[in-house]
Each structure stands twice: as C-alpha cells, then as structure tokens.
Structure 1
Amino acid sequence: MSDILAELTRVRDAFDKPTLRLLDRKWAPLVLAVFRTTFTRDQKTVPAERLHQQVDNYLDELKLAGEPSPEGPGRALCMQWLAHKWLVRSRDEDGAEFYSLTSHALEALDLVQSLTRDRTLISESRIHTILDVVRRFANEADPDRDTRIARLEAHIAELTAERDRLAEGGDIEPATDDHMLDSYTNLHSLIGQLPSDFKRVEEAVAGMHRQIISDFRNEERPVVEVLDEYLAKSDSLMKLTPEGRAFEGAFALLRDEPLLVDLRRDLDVILTHPFAQTLAPGEQREFRRTVKTIQDGIRDVLGERQRLSATLRAHIVGYDVAKDRELDAVLRQINQELEAWMQTAGPRATVEVELVPPRIDVEHLRERFWDPADAAPPPPLEDVSDNAPAAPDLEAIRRQGGPSLVELRQALVIAAMTPDGSSVADVFSALPERLRRPVELLGMVHLLLGARPDDGDGFPEAEALLAALDGEELVEAVRPDGTRRAFTVPVLPLRASDADALVEGARP
C-alpha cells in the first residue's frame, strides 16, 4: 500500500495550524494587509483601543474604494483574530492592554513577503551558504583526527594562497551587482526568519508560564516537582528545539560585543556597494537594523523568562511550610478522633460539624493604631538670618508710601495767598523732586477739591467747575527710583478763598 493516508494525515495536521488557517480563509488578504500595515519591525505592539479604531478606519476606506470587507466592528474582528491565535493580548505594568502578532501570523507574513519578491531565492549565494554550512557540519561530525587536520590544512592553504596573491599586487575582481543582489536576497531571507523564531520561543516560555501557574493554583503536586519540571522544560526548550538553539546562538552573539561591532561594520560595507542603490530606503534601513532585530528578539524572550522566574520566586517566598505541617497535624488528629469514635458509634451515626464559623458581631474595629511618629514635634526651623536681605531705611519706606499731605497743604496755602494766578500744575512743578512723586500730584488735587465748598447738591463746587473746564496742563513727576513720567491734568487755578479753606481743613 502507498503512504497516501499517512501523508494526508500530516497535511491535515499542517492545515490545522493557525498559520495555514490564516492563509486559507476568505478574508486572508485583508487580514494580512491589516497586519502588514499596523505591525512593523519598529511597532511590534499596538494598544488595544488604537488597533480597534484602526481596523474600523481600514474597513471604512475599503468600503469607499468599493473593496469587499467583513461585517462587524473592529473590536469584534480583533477578538476573532485573538481566538484564532493570530494575535496575542498582554498587559503592561500600568494595566494597559496591547496586541502583538503571534509566531503563526509572522510566519504567514514571511511567506507572503517571499512570494511578493521578484527574484528567486535559488541563487549562487544560497548554494554557497548551503555548501559552507555542510562543510562546517561535516568537519564537526567527522571523528577522525587525520581527516580534520587535512580539511583544516586545505582551508589554510587556500586562504594563504589568496593572501599571497593579493600581497603581490594581484587584481581584485569587484563583485557584480547581480551577485551582490543575490547575496542580499539570500541574507535578507535568513534575517527575516529571526522574528518568527524568537516569537515561537517566547510563546513556548509563555505556555510554560501558564502551565506552572495552573499547577501552583491547583496544588496537585508538590512545589519541588513543579520546580524540577520547570528546570527540565527550560533546559529542553533551549537545547532540543530549533527555536531554542536559534535563541542560544543569538544570545551568544549578543554577549560578544566585538562580534556585534564587526557585524554592524560589515552591514555598512555591504550597503556601500553600487547594488544598494537599487534598494528602497526602507529596505536599506531594515538591513542596517539587523543587530537591533536580534537584540529586540532576545530582550522579549528574556523578559518572558524573567516573568516566569518572578512567578516562581513569588510562590516559593509565599509558600508556608509551617502552615502545611499544621494542616497535616490537624488531619492526623481528626483521624485519631474518628478511630476512637467508630469504636462506639453505630452504622448510621452522624456528627454535627459546623463548616462555617458563626458570625462575630463587632460594632467597630480599630483601623489605625497610635504611632509615636505622628505626635513627634516638627523639626526646628533652620536659621537663615544670615541670608536675609538688608532692612529698608525709613526714608525708603516713606518714598514708597502715600502723599505728604502736610507739606503739600502748606505749598497750596502759600500759592493761594499770592494773587499771581497760579494753578495746581504750577505749584506742583515748583516743588522739590522728593515731593514730585505721582502720588503727590494726586494728593494735591485731593486737598484742593476737598477745600472747595459744596454747591448744595452734594458735589463740591470745584468738581462742577472741573467738569466745565476744557484746558489741560502738562506736569512732570519724578518716581522714587529717579525715572520721570509726564501727566496731563486739567487747569485748576487757585483762589484766595482756598487758603482759608485749606487752613481750616488742617485743624483737627
């Protein structure tokens, strides 16, 4: 019989995996287009609410363009993709939810990316890569000492001959653009497989994390057995699976800083070749980010392992051995009491056991206890008197105060008794500078208007006169800091009767 049934079973198993289920769906092109648009090498995670809104916007754009699209809101579609294991949802330390692609979705995207390339991956560069790997593996697998020495000598002789030829001035044949492009395509294909490999390792560690948490919560096995299984799985994950071996190799690369420096320099040298002009700026940028891609994948896997280790540490710290021993003692005592009771109890005898203790009526429970630190006096104030500014003198304080009414009143009385037609502006301008502050001008007007008699309506006669005047005068005031300011005031002439009123107003 042929092997058709066995092959059919294996193919069906492959189609049951999320990767091929994604490619086999009706809306597979749309889902992959959303993934390629939303998730990039720089944007590996997207906040949940933002992805829901983006999917809604994408669907609206497709409907406007006449493209068919699935029905339902973006949130419902994301939930479906989450259930199909194309998306994974996680929380950060602040509790915010994020979406990221699973390894199955990354594999589907890599496959679509490889099918969209114009050049085939079967090239001279790919064959050389295979030959180099096979030669190195054969050398490592051959246990014969003489054979290994012969291989090494042949390789050394080949390299020595090439070095001597170049040292003697031999020509260096430049690599053609086609050869470099083939090599770049091969290398880009190998680099493109790293994110999905790292994601598979991360998912394997996350699955182990969920299983260990379940074992801890169910308490079906002792803690020692759970820890032993974790260590065994961790060792097998890193050494027995292709993903684990890829991770171990990348981790060794990360620890070798000179090797990383050489890798970055080699990537830059490759892009200096003229063939790089045919690459898009995005392709060149992604090629330069090869080292960062490796570092990001390693950081994600190590972060998942750290979360797993934190869970183990928290359970071990919280595990109460004394409590387990106390429970065992109580159970043994119950067995002893049951044995004594069964000697006299009948076959249908029962014992009333109170499973839930009675409720305790407590009116108030103290929530806070007295803390001596709360009653401690505050610390003494720091003496900063040495840093205090100098106190202002009396003259400086006076210059910042109100008008000098006594001196202003004397000046107005003298001017009113002299029948020369002087006005308030003339009297103010004749004062010394220390009495020509802006506030002194206001004080002088206040004194004159307060000395004028009322006109019977409750308003001073001077105010009525002031309202009827159209003339204005310009006076110059001097501020305490020496700056000058010009003011325009109405013409307020002084009368002989103002002198008596000013003198009468000065009496208490």
Structure 2
Amino acid sequence: MNFQGLQAKYRRLFVESAAWKLLKVDNAPYILAFIADLFSEESEVPYGRARILLDAEIERSRELGIWPTETSAATYLNQWIKNGWLREMDDSLTKTDASEIALRFCKGLDERNSGTTASHLRIVQEAVRDLAVAISPNVDERVTLLESKKAEIQREIEALQAGIVPVLSESEQRERIREIYQLASVLTGDFRRVEDEIRVLDKEFRVKIIEGDISRGDVLLSVMEREALLSTTDAGSAFEGFFQLLCDQNRSMEFREQLRSILSRPVGQQLSGSQHQFLSHLMRELSRESERVFRVRRRTEEGLRSYIESGAAAENQAVDRLLSKLERQAVLLRDEGLDLTTETGLSLPVGPIEIKSPESMKLRSPDDKLDTSGVEENANRREPSAHVLDCLDAVQVRQVAYQVLNTLRERGPMSIARLADENPLTSGLEELVAYLRVAKAVDATMLDEKEDVIVVDKQGITLKASIPTYLLTAELFPEDIDELAL
C-alpha cells in the first residue's frame, strides 16, 4: 500500500477508532487511570459503586488541583459509555475492546521489552512447526515432521535420565515468565472483541428488520444465519476454540497447577505484585469472562427472537403508517377551517390510545405562513450601503488559521495569549473565538491553568478574557488548512 493509501487508512482510524479517541482526549490520563484502578481486581463493577468511587476521586483531585473539573461522575460515566470506552449491562460496568487497547498501549510504553528475545523466537518456531504439520497435504511429510518432534523429545528424556538437567539462567527465567504474562494479558481483549461483534450484528439485524419487508420465516432463517456467521468471525472462532480448551477438565486442571507451580518458585518474584496476582487468578478470570460473553450472546439472541416472534417490528411499521395518515387528515381538517376542538368518536385499534380531537394530537405540520404585509419594497442598488459593508466585515476563521500557522512556524510553540501578543486582537470577542476554534480543530493540548487575553473590539473598547490555556504547535496543522473543520 502506498503513502496515500496508508494515510487515508490512518486518517479513517483517527476519526473512527474509539481507542484512538480515548488516547487523544484532553483528560485521557484521568479516564485511563480510573478505568485501570476500577477494574484492577475484578472485571465487572456495579454502576453505583463506580459512580461513588469516581465522585470521590474527582473531589480529591479538585482539592489537590490536579483535575479542576465541575462535571459530575454520572455525566462522565454516561459519556464514556456513549463513546464506547465502558459497557453497561444489568447495571454493571465492564471494559470494552477500545479501553483494553488503550490501556495495553500505555502499559506497553511503561513495560517495554526487547522485541528480539529468545522466547519470542521460540514461540514463533513452535507455531511454525505446528502449522506446517497441520496444513501439510503430504502424509509422508507429516510423518517426517512428527518423527523429528518425537526424536527431539526422546533426546530430552534420555538426557534427564542420564542426570543432565539443563537449568535456565536468571535472565532467561525472567524473560520467559514476563512473556507468559504479556501473552496472558491480551486474552481478555479477545472477549471484548467478541462482545463488540455480537452487539454490532444485533444492531445491523434490527435495522434490516425495520427497513425490509420480509416474512417471519425469512427473519428466523436470517437469525440462524447470523448466529452461524458470528462463529466464523476472527474473534468468534478464536473464542469458540478457546472455550473448548477451557471446558477440557484435564487440560484446565493441568494448566492451573502448572501456573501455581511456576508462581511458587523464585522465578515468580520477577513479576510485580499486580502481575503475580493476575496470573494467579488467570483461570478464574477467564471463566468469568467467557461466562459474560455467553450471557451477552444469550441476551442478544433472546431479545431478537422475542422481538421477531411478537411481531413488534411489523406492528411498529403499521402504527407509523397509520399515525402519518391521521396527521395528514388532521392537517387537511385544519386547512379547511374546521373547529379542531370538536369531539369525535375516533378510536385506534392498536392499544389504549384515545384521541378526543385533532387538536390533542401532536402534529408534524408546517409552520404558519410568513406575514409579509408590513414589508416595504426597496429598489436594488449597485453600490452596497455602509451598513451592509459593516455587517460583512466579519472575522474569517480560515485566515486566522493561516496567520496562527505562520506565527508558530516563525516563533515556535505558543499559547493563544502569546499569539495575541504577537498579533493583537482588534476585532473583539469574535476574533478570540476564531482562535479558540482553530485550537480545537487541531486538537491542541489543553493545560490545567488558565490565561488572560487582551481583546480590543471595533469601537476601541479593551476587554480582558480568561480562557483555558491551549498549547499550539505547527506540527498539529495539516498540510492543507482547508482540511480543518472550522
């Protein structure tokens, strides 16, 4: 893919990715810190407890001066749910795939490991060998590969029987156990992806039901097809395979005992306290996560089936058509000059709806005609008046953007107050608003403190405005200023 294709792809992700939106918002450190702390010991937290905890953190941060916000905890939580950073079901909150990706990215910055470790190479080699055996159509080739693997295992057995016990060095042990933690920590992200795919399929299918005119049999057939489709997606098939392994009692017990054995040895001290706790509770956490996926999937399927079998979709369409017809008739009655408060015997056979008169209906009718009786007609003139020219003398936001970019290229990073010192604001608050619009359009960093800006309006009156401090740099601007949403 060439540069143009890649930049188009990344620009789309920049706009659409919920994880990228989380990382670039001004209060991202506070959001990520709260989510990481809230779900540090459990993967599902009641909404009420989360609201109380966030209220306490906001109050404490406000007293310390590190998060001067006046927004309530409930508003923040609802906004994070709407943005796809948290998920609410049955009055409980869980992380989403977007928040998992953002947290994993931040954790990776703090826990960077060498990308060329021996454990990485060993994992790749074993995966390549297993895949080569699994996909080879040649029976002799498969036998040869398996014989080679068998001979390698036999050599290890003979060495151990001869008293030769290879011991990993301390650095190798540290490297391998950290690799185990890194691989295990991404498992929960697979569950989040499965949940997201279930919800997307549910939404798409409901839209299809509403927009299409299909029979109930076709709808049920489509539901079964969608259920089969879910298991064929990348996340769905990965989850199906994982759950089969999780249900294998022997392998699960073996895995749990091996983890306990590793963590009880000195190599377990190479992990931090949170990493050690995560691995010690890994099987329990995976069981809970898989159960929640099944609960979401079961809830979605039951909701779809009840929605279809009750005929709610068809009834909604019929009611909408009937109400639209009634509204058109009521508008015709009003236009004919009839008294809209007249009692009628109108009744609708769709439930306990009772309409006594057309006036009691909330009509979606056009506005009244504009009264132009007092309008005076003036002859057109080729020369605009002074009043018209004064109205047209408005601040051009795009010109302000060009001016800001040129100043930043010459002087370096600046705030709006320093930009106003370099280029005094002479068009009043409208020009200051233009500077703020430019700062928001380029996603300038908003600092904690505020700053004062001196503004002079067109009449020469001097004003002092207190605004948030935005740090602008030339690198934030796109190559084409016209791309900015101003």
Q: TM-score range by the shorter chain?
A: 0.5 to 0.7
- 2:321 aligned partner: none
Q: Which residue of 2 aligns with 1:128?
A: 122
Alpha-carbon deviations, 1:245-297, whole Å to 9, x = none? 22012111122110001100111121133121233343222102221222122
Q: 1:358 to 1:177 in 2, by over 3 A?
A: closer
- Contact 2:45/2:93 (CA < 8 Å) preserved in 1? yes
CA separation in 1, counterparts of 2:226 and 2:217? Answer: 14
How far the C-alpha of 1:219 sits from its partner, in A, is: 7.0
Q: 1:45 touches 1:99 (CA, 8 Å); kept in 2?
A: yes
| Higher alpha-carbon Rg | 1
In the other structure, the counterpart of 2:10 is 11
Q: 1:142 to 1:84 in 2, by over 3 A?
A: same
Counterpart residue number, 1:275: 267
The corresponding residue for 2:390 is: none
* Pairing partner for 1:250 from 228, 242, 257: 242
- Write the mapping of 1:136-285 to structure 2, written as runs, cut at 5 A: 136-167=130-161, 169-214=162-207, 220-239=213-232, 241-285=233-277
Task: Indicate the RMSD between aligned Cα atoms, in angstroms.
Answer: 2.8
Query: Aligned partners of 1:293 and 1:57: how far apart in 2?
Result: 27
Question: Aligned with 2:26: secondary structure?
Answer: coil
Go from structure 1 to structure 2 and tell me whether the alpha carbon gap of 1:218 and 1:58 turns closer, same or farther (over 3 Å shift): same
- Distance across 1 between alignment mates of 2:345 and 2:234: 54
1:294–1:147: structure 2 CA closer, same or farther, 3 Å change rule?
Answer: same
* Cα distance in 1, alignment partners of residues 308 and 184 from structure 2: 40
Asked if the contact 1:46/1:98 (under 8 Å) is kept, the reply is yes
**Contact 2:97/2:189 (CA < 8 Å) preserved in 1?**
yes
1:86 CA displacement = 0.9
1:10: Cα distance to partner? Answer: 0.7
* Shift in CA distance, 319/123, structure 1 to aligned 2, threshold 3 Å: same
Is the 2:178–2:271 Cα contact (8 Å) retained in structure 1? no
Residues 121 and 186, structure 1, Cα contact 8 Å, conserved in 2: no
Given that 1:212 and 1:226 are in contact with CA atoms closer than 8 Å, whether structure 2 keeps it comes out as no
Provide the rounded CA distance (Å) in 1 between the counterparts of 2:4 and 2:211: 41
Aligned residue in 2 for 1:40: 40
Provide the rounded CA distance (Å) in 2 between the counterparts of 1:190 and 1:355.
70
**Measured at CA, do residues 316 and 226 of structure 1 come closer, stay the same or move farther in structure 2, by a change above 3 Å?**
closer
Report the number of matched residues. 320
* Aligned-partner Cα distance in 1 for 2:348–2:124: 76
Distance 2:115 2:223 in 1: 40
Work out the CA distance in 1 between the residues paired with 2:253 and 2:166.
26
Distance, in Å, in 2 between the alignment partners of 1:358 and 1:65 is 61
Q: Is the CA contact (8 Å cut-off) linking 2:191 and 2:290 kept in structure 1?
A: yes
Alpha-carbon distance in 1 for matches of 2:108, 2:248: 31
Give the secondary structure class of the aligned counterpart of 1:88.
strand
What CA distance in whole angstroms lies between the structure 2 residues aligned with 1:206 and 1:355?
45
1:59 Cα shift? 1.9
- Secondary structure at 2:46's aligned position in 1? strand
Which amino acid letter does the alignment assign opposite residue 5 of structure 1? Q
Contact persistence 1:87–1:99 (CA under 8 A): yes
How many angstroms does 1:41 deviate by?
Answer: 4.6
Structure 1 pair 72–259 and aligned structure 2 pair: CA distance change class (3 A): same
Please tell me whether the aligned partners of residues 89 and 98 of structure 1 are also in contact (alpha carbons under 8 angstroms). yes
Once the two structures are superposed, the pairs formed by residues 414-493 of structure 1 within 5 Å of their partners are: none
* 2-structure distance, mates of 1:87, 1:277: 33
AA aligned to 2:46 is V
Deviation of residue 80 (structure 1)? 2.2
Contact 2:14/2:20 (<8 A) preserved: yes
Point out the more displaced range, 259-268 or 112-121.
Answer: 112-121
Query: Which of these residues, 277, 301, 314, is aligned with residue 306 of structure 2?
Result: 314
* Distance (Å, rounded) in 1 between the aligned partners of 2:239 and 2:19: 21
Alignment partners' CA distance in 2, 1:267 and 1:156: 25
Offset of residue 69 of structure 1: 4.0
After TM superposition, give the deviation of residue 148 of structure 1 in Å.
1.2
Question: Is residue 215–residue 226 contact of structure 1 (8 Å, CA) maintained in 2?
Answer: no
Tell me if structure 2 keeps the 8 A contact 1:202–1:304. Answer: yes
Query: Does 51-60 or 100-109 show the bigger shift?
Result: 51-60
Relative to structure 1, the CA distance from residue 140 to residue 227 in structure 2 (aligned partners, 3 Å threshold; closer, same or farther) is same
TM-score for both structures, normalised by structure 1: 0.58
- Tell me how far apart the structure 2 counterparts of residues 202 and 269 of structure 1 sit (CA, whole Å): 33
Identify the residue that residue 73 of structure 2 maps to in structure 1: 74
Secondary structure at 1:37 match in 2: helix
**Amino acid aligned to 2:107:** Q
Could you tell me how far apart the structure 2 residues matched to 1:153 and 1:261 are? 29
* Residues 327-338 of structure 1 aligned to structure 2 (within 5 Å): none
Q: Does 1:21 align with 2:8?
A: no
Cα separation, 2, equivalents of 1:183 and 1:286:
16
CA 1:233–1:357: 2 relative to 1, 3 Å: closer
Which residue does the alignment assign to 2:467?
none
1:305 Cα shift?
1.7
Q: CA deviation at 1:143?
A: 1.5
- The alpha carbon displacement at 1:319 in A equals 5.4
What is the deviation of 1:314?
Answer: 2.9
Q: SS at 1:6's partner residue?
A: helix
Matched, 1:107 2:101: yes
Residue segments in structure 2 that go unaligned for 5+ positions in a row: 319-343, 350-486
Partner amino acid, structure 2, of 1:149? V
Match of 1:117 in 2: 111
Distance, in Å, in 2 between the alignment partners of 1:236 and 1:40 is 34
Question: Is the 8 Å Cα contact of residues 44 and 92 (structure 2) preserved in structure 1?
Answer: no
Residues 22 and 208 of structure 1: is their aligned pair in 2 closer, same or farther, counting only changes over 3 Å?
same
Partner Cα distance (2:226, 2:71) in 1:
41
Distance change in 2, residues 1:125/1:138 (3 Å): same
Which residue identity is paired with 1:24?
A: K
AA of the residue aligned to 1:220:
D
Secondary structure of the residue aligned to 2:142 is: helix
